Amino acid sequence: MIRFLRRASLAVGIMGLVAAVLRLRGTGGTPPQSGGWRELSGPDLR
Amino acid sequence: MRIAVLGAGAVGSRAARQLASTPGVRALTVADPDARLVEAVCASLGPMATPSTSPEVDLAGHDVVVLAGPGKHHRSQAERALEAGASVVSCTNELAPARQLLALDDEARVRSRTVAVGAGFAPGLSDLLAAHAGRLFDEVHEVHVARSGTGGPACARAHHASLRGLALDWRDGAWVSRQGGSGRELAWFPDPVAGQDCYRASLPDALLFGPAFPGLVRGTSRVAATRRDRLTAPLPMLRQPHPEGLVGAIRVEVRGRRGQSFETVVYGAVDRPGLAAGAVAAMAAVATGTGLARTGAAGLAVLLPDPLPLLQELANRGVRCATFSGSA
Protein backbone atom coordinates (compact mmCIF):
# COMPACT_ATOMS: atom_id res chain seq x y z
CA MET A 1 0.00 0.00 0.00
CA ILE A 2 2.80 2.42 0.92
CA ARG A 3 4.62 1.52 -2.29
CA PHE A 4 1.45 2.22 -4.28
CA LEU A 5 1.00 5.61 -2.64
CA ARG A 6 4.62 6.52 -3.31
CA ARG A 7 4.30 5.59 -6.96
CA ALA A 8 1.05 7.50 -7.29
CA SER A 9 2.52 10.63 -5.70
CA LEU A 10 5.59 10.30 -7.93
CA ALA A 11 3.35 10.05 -11.01
CA VAL A 12 1.31 13.09 -9.93
CA GLY A 13 4.52 15.01 -9.26
CA ILE A 14 5.95 14.19 -12.69
CA MET A 15 2.67 15.15 -14.37
CA GLY A 16 2.68 18.44 -12.49
CA LEU A 17 6.25 19.10 -13.55
CA VAL A 18 5.43 18.40 -17.21
CA ALA A 19 2.36 20.65 -17.00
CA ALA A 20 4.44 23.43 -15.45
CA VAL A 21 7.06 23.15 -18.20
CA LEU A 22 4.38 23.27 -20.89
CA ARG A 23 2.84 26.37 -19.36
CA LEU A 24 6.18 28.17 -19.22
CA ARG A 25 6.81 31.29 -21.25
CA GLY A 26 4.29 33.76 -22.57
CA THR A 27 1.82 35.74 -20.59
CA GLY A 28 -1.36 34.66 -22.33
CA GLY A 29 -3.72 37.55 -22.89
CA THR A 30 -7.23 38.78 -22.61
CA PRO A 31 -10.02 38.60 -25.16
CA PRO A 32 -11.23 41.81 -26.80
CA GLN A 33 -13.14 43.94 -24.30
CA SER A 34 -15.54 45.41 -26.84
CA GLY A 35 -16.25 45.52 -30.57
CA GLY A 36 -15.99 42.76 -33.11
CA TRP A 37 -15.12 41.73 -36.64
CA ARG A 38 -16.92 42.97 -39.72
CA GLU A 39 -16.32 42.09 -43.33
CA LEU A 40 -14.17 44.41 -45.43
CA SER A 41 -16.36 45.73 -48.22
CA GLY A 42 -17.22 48.80 -50.25
CA PRO A 43 -15.27 51.79 -48.96
CA ASP A 44 -12.80 49.54 -47.12
CA LEU A 45 -11.61 48.20 -50.46
CA ARG A 46 -11.15 51.50 -52.25
CA MET B 1 -1.03 33.94 -70.71
CA ARG B 2 0.49 30.47 -70.31
CA ILE B 3 1.01 29.33 -66.74
CA ALA B 4 2.60 26.22 -65.19
CA VAL B 5 1.56 25.00 -61.74
CA LEU B 6 4.14 22.72 -60.16
CA GLY B 7 2.37 20.71 -57.46
CA ALA B 8 -1.25 19.55 -57.55
CA GLY B 9 -1.96 19.23 -53.84
CA ALA B 10 -4.29 21.27 -51.66
CA VAL B 11 -2.86 24.59 -52.89
CA GLY B 12 -1.73 23.74 -56.43
CA SER B 13 -5.03 22.17 -57.50
CA ARG B 14 -6.96 25.19 -56.17
CA ALA B 15 -4.57 27.61 -57.88
CA ALA B 16 -5.01 25.73 -61.16
CA ARG B 17 -8.82 25.86 -60.83
CA GLN B 18 -8.75 29.58 -60.11
CA LEU B 19 -6.47 30.18 -63.09
CA ALA B 20 -8.67 28.10 -65.38
CA SER B 21 -11.56 30.47 -64.63
CA THR B 22 -9.51 33.60 -65.23
CA PRO B 23 -9.87 35.50 -68.51
CA GLY B 24 -6.52 35.86 -70.26
CA VAL B 25 -5.18 32.50 -69.12
CA ARG B 26 -5.20 30.38 -72.25
CA ALA B 27 -3.11 27.36 -71.28
CA LEU B 28 -2.12 25.60 -68.05
CA THR B 29 0.52 22.98 -67.40
CA VAL B 30 -0.07 21.11 -64.14
CA ALA B 31 2.83 18.97 -62.91
CA ASP B 32 2.95 16.58 -59.98
CA PRO B 33 4.73 13.26 -59.39
CA ASP B 34 1.38 11.69 -58.47
CA ALA B 35 0.03 10.69 -61.91
CA ARG B 36 -3.49 9.89 -60.70
CA LEU B 37 -3.79 13.20 -58.89
CA VAL B 38 -2.52 15.34 -61.74
CA GLU B 39 -4.74 13.51 -64.27
CA ALA B 40 -7.78 14.09 -62.07
CA VAL B 41 -7.00 17.79 -61.66
CA CYS B 42 -6.43 18.30 -65.38
CA ALA B 43 -9.58 16.34 -66.28
CA SER B 44 -11.59 18.77 -64.16
CA LEU B 45 -10.03 21.77 -65.89
CA GLY B 46 -10.81 20.78 -69.47
CA PRO B 47 -8.69 20.94 -72.62
CA MET B 48 -6.72 24.01 -71.56
CA ALA B 49 -4.79 21.94 -68.99
CA THR B 50 -1.87 19.65 -69.80
CA PRO B 51 -0.74 17.14 -67.15
CA SER B 52 2.86 16.22 -66.48
CA THR B 53 4.50 13.88 -63.99
CA SER B 54 8.05 14.84 -64.92
CA PRO B 55 10.10 16.62 -62.24
CA GLU B 56 11.89 18.39 -65.11
CA VAL B 57 8.75 19.56 -66.93
CA ASP B 58 9.56 21.86 -69.84
CA LEU B 59 8.90 25.44 -68.71
CA ALA B 60 9.79 27.13 -72.01
CA GLY B 61 7.02 29.32 -73.37
CA HIS B 62 5.34 29.84 -69.99
CA ASP B 63 4.78 33.36 -68.71
CA VAL B 64 4.51 32.43 -65.04
CA VAL B 65 5.39 29.31 -63.01
CA VAL B 66 3.48 28.75 -59.76
CA LEU B 67 5.46 26.69 -57.24
CA ALA B 68 2.95 24.84 -55.07
CA GLY B 69 4.93 21.73 -54.13
CA PRO B 70 7.29 21.12 -51.21
CA GLY B 71 9.37 24.21 -50.42
CA LYS B 72 12.71 22.38 -50.59
CA HIS B 73 12.40 22.27 -54.39
CA HIS B 74 11.37 25.88 -54.91
CA ARG B 75 14.83 27.37 -55.37
CA SER B 76 15.86 24.95 -58.14
CA GLN B 77 12.43 25.20 -59.78
CA ALA B 78 12.61 28.99 -59.67
CA GLU B 79 16.06 28.97 -61.26
CA ARG B 80 14.77 26.75 -64.08
CA ALA B 81 11.76 29.02 -64.56
CA LEU B 82 13.90 32.15 -64.75
CA GLU B 83 16.22 30.47 -67.25
CA ALA B 84 13.15 29.63 -69.32
CA GLY B 85 12.11 33.30 -69.24
CA ALA B 86 9.18 32.91 -66.87
CA SER B 87 8.28 34.77 -63.71
CA VAL B 88 7.77 32.78 -60.52
CA VAL B 89 5.10 32.70 -57.82
CA SER B 90 6.06 30.57 -54.82
CA CYS B 91 3.50 29.52 -52.21
CA THR B 92 6.10 28.62 -49.61
CA ASN B 93 5.42 29.44 -45.97
CA GLU B 94 8.81 28.14 -44.79
CA LEU B 95 11.72 30.34 -43.81
CA ALA B 96 14.61 28.53 -45.53
CA PRO B 97 13.04 28.29 -49.02
CA ALA B 98 11.87 31.90 -48.75
CA ARG B 99 15.42 33.04 -48.00
CA GLN B 100 16.75 31.02 -50.94
CA LEU B 101 14.19 32.56 -53.26
CA LEU B 102 14.87 36.11 -52.04
CA ALA B 103 18.51 35.52 -52.98
CA LEU B 104 17.36 35.36 -56.61
CA ASP B 105 16.56 39.08 -56.54
CA ASP B 106 19.52 40.17 -58.68
CA GLU B 107 18.95 37.47 -61.27
CA ALA B 108 15.25 38.27 -61.48
CA ARG B 109 15.99 41.98 -61.98
CA VAL B 110 18.60 41.28 -64.65
CA ARG B 111 16.06 39.16 -66.50
CA SER B 112 13.24 41.67 -65.84
CA ARG B 113 11.20 38.97 -64.19
CA THR B 114 9.36 38.67 -60.88
CA VAL B 115 9.85 36.09 -58.15
CA ALA B 116 6.89 36.47 -55.80
CA VAL B 117 7.79 34.75 -52.54
CA GLY B 118 5.17 33.51 -50.10
CA ALA B 119 1.99 33.90 -52.15
CA GLY B 120 -0.38 31.92 -49.95
CA PHE B 121 -2.60 32.48 -46.95
CA ALA B 122 0.19 33.68 -44.62
CA PRO B 123 2.48 34.88 -45.96
CA GLY B 124 0.51 36.07 -48.98
CA LEU B 125 -2.92 37.34 -48.09
CA SER B 126 -1.42 38.62 -44.83
CA ASP B 127 1.08 40.70 -46.84
CA LEU B 128 -1.70 42.18 -48.96
CA LEU B 129 -3.66 43.09 -45.82
CA ALA B 130 -0.57 44.58 -44.17
CA ALA B 131 0.13 46.67 -47.28
CA HIS B 132 -3.51 47.75 -47.43
CA ALA B 133 -3.50 48.74 -43.76
CA GLY B 134 -0.17 50.51 -44.22
CA ARG B 135 -1.78 52.90 -46.69
CA LEU B 136 -3.93 54.25 -43.84
CA PHE B 137 -0.88 55.47 -41.91
CA ASP B 138 1.67 58.24 -42.35
CA GLU B 139 4.26 55.99 -40.69
CA VAL B 140 4.01 52.28 -39.94
CA HIS B 141 5.85 51.32 -36.76
CA GLU B 142 4.73 47.76 -36.08
CA VAL B 143 3.30 44.85 -38.05
CA HIS B 144 2.32 41.65 -36.26
CA VAL B 145 1.00 38.65 -38.19
CA ALA B 146 -0.58 35.56 -36.67
CA ARG B 147 -2.05 32.55 -38.42
CA SER B 148 -4.05 29.54 -37.41
CA GLY B 149 -4.59 26.30 -39.32
CA THR B 150 -2.83 24.43 -42.09
CA GLY B 151 -3.57 23.49 -45.69
CA GLY B 152 -2.35 20.18 -47.08
CA PRO B 153 0.15 17.66 -45.67
CA ALA B 154 3.20 19.72 -46.72
CA CYS B 155 1.78 22.71 -44.84
CA ALA B 156 1.14 20.56 -41.75
CA ARG B 157 4.75 19.31 -41.87
CA ALA B 158 6.02 22.88 -42.24
CA HIS B 159 3.91 23.94 -39.24
CA HIS B 160 5.35 21.07 -37.18
CA ALA B 161 8.94 21.94 -38.16
CA SER B 162 8.47 25.68 -37.68
CA LEU B 163 7.87 25.27 -33.94
CA ARG B 164 11.31 23.74 -33.39
CA GLY B 165 13.22 26.21 -35.57
CA LEU B 166 14.41 29.71 -34.83
CA ALA B 167 11.91 32.51 -35.21
CA LEU B 168 12.95 35.69 -36.96
CA ASP B 169 11.58 38.99 -35.62
CA TRP B 170 12.40 42.52 -36.71
CA ARG B 171 13.07 44.63 -33.63
CA ASP B 172 14.53 48.14 -33.47
CA GLY B 173 16.25 47.94 -36.84
CA ALA B 174 17.78 44.47 -36.51
CA TRP B 175 16.79 40.85 -36.94
CA VAL B 176 16.40 38.97 -33.68
CA SER B 177 16.30 35.18 -33.49
CA ARG B 178 14.20 33.55 -30.80
CA GLN B 179 13.38 29.93 -30.12
CA GLY B 180 10.29 28.67 -31.94
CA GLY B 181 7.47 27.65 -29.61
CA SER B 182 8.22 30.51 -27.21
CA GLY B 183 6.42 33.81 -26.62
CA ARG B 184 2.83 32.71 -26.16
CA GLU B 185 0.25 35.35 -27.05
CA LEU B 186 -3.50 35.06 -27.28
CA ALA B 187 -4.47 36.22 -30.77
CA TRP B 188 -8.10 36.93 -31.51
CA PHE B 189 -9.01 35.77 -35.02
CA PRO B 190 -12.30 36.29 -36.87
CA ASP B 191 -15.08 33.85 -35.95
CA PRO B 192 -15.38 30.90 -35.87
CA VAL B 193 -11.65 30.52 -35.11
CA ALA B 194 -11.71 33.21 -32.36
CA GLY B 195 -9.02 33.12 -29.64
CA GLN B 196 -5.95 30.94 -30.14
CA ASP B 197 -2.64 30.74 -28.31
CA CYS B 198 0.04 31.71 -30.83
CA TYR B 199 3.80 31.21 -30.59
CA ARG B 200 6.96 32.31 -32.31
CA ALA B 201 7.97 29.96 -35.10
CA SER B 202 10.40 29.72 -37.97
CA LEU B 203 8.28 31.73 -40.41
CA PRO B 204 9.27 34.01 -43.32
CA ASP B 205 6.54 36.63 -42.80
CA ALA B 206 8.61 39.40 -41.22
CA LEU B 207 11.34 38.87 -43.82
CA LEU B 208 8.77 39.37 -46.58
CA PHE B 209 6.63 42.27 -45.33
CA GLY B 210 9.48 44.10 -43.56
CA PRO B 211 11.00 45.83 -46.61
CA ALA B 212 7.58 47.24 -47.54
CA PHE B 213 7.62 49.46 -44.44
CA PRO B 214 10.85 51.49 -44.30
CA GLY B 215 10.20 52.92 -40.81
CA LEU B 216 9.26 49.59 -39.27
CA VAL B 217 10.34 49.23 -35.63
CA ARG B 218 8.85 45.82 -34.86
CA GLY B 219 7.73 43.04 -37.17
CA THR B 220 6.71 39.66 -35.84
CA SER B 221 4.88 36.54 -36.92
CA ARG B 222 3.29 33.83 -34.82
CA VAL B 223 1.48 30.63 -35.44
CA ALA B 224 -1.35 29.03 -33.47
CA ALA B 225 -0.32 25.81 -31.78
CA THR B 226 -1.51 23.51 -29.04
CA ARG B 227 0.63 22.37 -26.14
CA ARG B 228 0.85 18.96 -27.80
CA ASP B 229 2.21 20.66 -30.95
CA ARG B 230 4.92 22.32 -28.86
CA LEU B 231 5.74 19.18 -26.90
CA THR B 232 6.09 17.00 -30.01
CA ALA B 233 7.78 19.64 -32.22
CA PRO B 234 11.34 18.27 -31.64
CA LEU B 235 10.17 14.77 -32.65
CA PRO B 236 9.34 13.49 -36.11
CA MET B 237 5.60 13.71 -36.83
CA LEU B 238 4.07 10.81 -34.93
CA ARG B 239 1.36 10.18 -37.50
CA GLN B 240 0.67 11.06 -41.12
CA PRO B 241 -0.65 14.60 -41.53
CA HIS B 242 -4.27 14.99 -42.57
CA PRO B 243 -5.04 15.43 -46.30
CA GLU B 244 -6.33 18.92 -45.59
CA GLY B 245 -6.79 21.01 -42.46
CA LEU B 246 -10.01 22.55 -41.24
CA VAL B 247 -10.86 26.21 -41.36
CA GLY B 248 -7.97 28.53 -40.53
CA ALA B 249 -7.50 32.24 -40.04
CA ILE B 250 -5.00 35.05 -40.23
CA ARG B 251 -4.72 38.22 -38.23
CA VAL B 252 -2.65 41.25 -39.24
CA GLU B 253 -2.15 44.01 -36.70
CA VAL B 254 -0.58 47.23 -37.95
CA ARG B 255 0.35 50.09 -35.64
CA GLY B 256 1.62 53.50 -36.58
CA ARG B 257 1.11 57.22 -36.75
CA ARG B 258 -1.82 58.80 -38.54
CA GLY B 259 -1.69 62.57 -38.32
CA GLN B 260 -0.98 63.44 -34.72
CA SER B 261 -2.27 60.20 -33.21
CA PHE B 262 -0.93 56.67 -32.89
CA GLU B 263 -3.45 54.10 -34.04
CA THR B 264 -3.88 50.38 -34.58
CA VAL B 265 -5.61 48.68 -37.50
CA VAL B 266 -6.44 44.98 -37.31
CA TYR B 267 -7.36 42.99 -40.40
CA GLY B 268 -8.10 39.29 -40.62
CA ALA B 269 -9.48 36.55 -42.79
CA VAL B 270 -11.00 33.16 -42.17
CA ASP B 271 -11.01 30.37 -44.76
CA ARG B 272 -9.62 26.95 -45.48
CA PRO B 273 -5.90 27.79 -45.76
CA GLY B 274 -5.34 25.64 -48.86
CA LEU B 275 -8.31 27.18 -50.63
CA ALA B 276 -7.36 30.76 -49.85
CA ALA B 277 -3.68 30.10 -50.63
CA GLY B 278 -4.63 28.70 -54.04
CA ALA B 279 -6.69 31.78 -54.84
CA VAL B 280 -3.94 34.15 -53.68
CA ALA B 281 -1.30 32.25 -55.69
CA ALA B 282 -3.49 32.33 -58.80
CA MET B 283 -4.23 36.05 -58.52
CA ALA B 284 -0.56 36.78 -57.81
CA ALA B 285 0.33 34.80 -60.95
CA VAL B 286 -2.13 36.81 -63.03
CA ALA B 287 -0.85 40.10 -61.57
CA THR B 288 2.71 39.01 -62.32
CA GLY B 289 1.90 37.84 -65.83
CA THR B 290 0.09 41.07 -66.68
CA GLY B 291 2.97 43.26 -65.50
CA LEU B 292 1.27 44.64 -62.36
CA ALA B 293 4.08 43.38 -60.14
CA ARG B 294 7.54 44.90 -59.84
CA THR B 295 10.55 42.95 -61.00
CA GLY B 296 12.86 41.25 -58.50
CA ALA B 297 12.36 38.71 -55.74
CA ALA B 298 10.26 39.78 -52.76
CA GLY B 299 7.00 39.29 -50.92
CA LEU B 300 3.65 40.51 -52.22
CA ALA B 301 3.65 43.63 -50.02
CA VAL B 302 6.80 44.78 -51.79
CA LEU B 303 6.04 43.59 -55.31
CA LEU B 304 2.52 44.95 -55.63
CA PRO B 305 2.44 48.73 -55.24
CA ASP B 306 -1.35 48.62 -54.92
CA PRO B 307 -2.80 45.57 -53.15
CA LEU B 308 -6.42 46.66 -53.67
CA PRO B 309 -7.09 45.10 -57.09
CA LEU B 310 -5.96 41.73 -55.72
CA LEU B 311 -8.01 42.06 -52.55
CA GLN B 312 -11.06 43.04 -54.59
CA GLU B 313 -10.60 40.11 -56.97
CA LEU B 314 -10.08 37.74 -54.04
CA ALA B 315 -13.29 39.04 -52.46
CA ASN B 316 -15.10 38.36 -55.75
CA ARG B 317 -13.77 34.82 -55.60
CA GLY B 318 -15.00 34.24 -52.07
CA VAL B 319 -11.88 35.03 -50.04
CA ARG B 320 -13.40 37.48 -47.60
CA CYS B 321 -11.37 39.68 -45.28
CA ALA B 322 -12.50 41.40 -42.13
CA THR B 323 -11.49 44.26 -39.88
CA PHE B 324 -11.69 44.41 -36.12
CA SER B 325 -13.23 47.50 -34.64
CA GLY B 326 -13.33 48.03 -30.91
CA SER B 327 -10.74 47.82 -28.18
CA ALA B 328 -8.49 44.83 -28.70
Chain B residues within 8 A of A26 when measuring between CB atoms: 182-185, 197, 199
Separation CA B278–CA B3 (nearest Å): 14
Closest CB to B325 among A26, A33, A35: A35
Rg (CA), chain B: 18
Summary mean pLDDT of chain B: 95
Closest CB to A22 among B191, B227, B324: B227
Contact A37 B191 (CB under 8 A): yes
Angstroms from B121 CA to nearest CA on chain A:
17
Helices B273-289, B125-134: axis angle to 10 degrees equals 70
Q: Which of A21, A37, A38, A39 to mutate to test the interface with B (most CBs of B within 10 A)?
A: A37
Contact A28 B268 (CB under 8 A): no
Which residues of B fall below an 8 Å CB-CB distance to A?
A: 182-188, 190-191, 195, 197, 199, 227, 230-231, 267-268, 308, 311-312, 315, 320-328
User: Which amino acid is residue A5, in one-letter code?
Assistant: L
Which residues of A fall below an 8 Å CB-CB distance to B?
A: 22-23, 25-41, 44-46
Contact A27 B322 (CB under 8 A): no
Domains of chain B are 2-120+276-308 (3.40.50.720), 125-273+318-324 (3.30.360.10)
Contact indicator for B323, A37 with CB cutoff of 8 Å:
yes
Report the pLDDT averaged over residues B43-68: 95
Q: How confident is the model at residue B328 (pLDDT cuts 50, 70, 90)?
A: low
Spatial neighbors of B29 by CB under 8 A, at least 6 apart, are: B2, B3, B4, B5, B49, B50, B52, B57, B62
* b/e per residue B115-142 (b: at least 16 CB within 10 A): bbbbbbbbbbbbbbbbbbbbeebeebbb
Report the pLDDT averaged over residues B65-91: 96
Determine the pLDDT at residue B228: 85
Determine the pLDDT at residue B285: 97
Chain B residues within 8 A of A36 when measuring between CB atoms: 324-326
Please tell me what DSSP assigns to residue B241.
P
Contact A45 B312 (CB under 8 A): yes
Q: How confident is the model at residue A43 (pLDDT cuts 50, 70, 90)?
A: confident
Distances (CA, A) of B190 to A31, B121, B209, B267, B274: 12, 14, 22, 9, 17
Distances (CA, A) of B102 to A41, B84, B165, B242, B306: 33, 19, 19, 30, 21
Give the best-scoring range by mean pLDDT among A8-22, B205-219, B237-251. B205-219
Separation CA B245–CA A14 (nearest Å): 33
Q: How confident is the model at residue B69 (pLDDT cuts 50, 70, 90)?
A: very high
Chain A residues within 8 A of B326 when measuring between CB atoms: 32-36
Q: Which of B126, B179, B186, B189 to mutate to test the interface with A (most CBs of A within 10 A)?
A: B186
Contact B197 A33 (CB under 8 A): no
What are the DSSP calls for B111-152, one per residue?
Answer: TT-EEE---BTTTBHHHHHHHHHHTT-SEEEEEEEEEE---S
Task: Tell me the pLDDT tens digit for each residue of A17-34.
Answer: 887 776 655 455 566 667
Task: Tell me the pLDDT tens digit for each residue of B221-259.
Answer: 999 999 889 889 999 987 888 888 889 999 999 999 999
User: Which amino acid is residue B131, in one-letter code?
Assistant: A
Report the pLDDT averaged over residues B77-87: 97
Report the pLDDT averaged over residues B26-53: 96
| Strand duo B185-188 + B321-327: pairing | unpaired
Angstroms from B286 CA to nearest CA on chain A:
19
Angstroms from A2 CA to nearest CA on chain B:
33
Task: Say yes or no to pLDDT of B65 above 70.
Answer: yes
Please tell me what DSSP assigns to residue A43.
G
Angstroms from A3 CA to nearest CA on chain B:
30
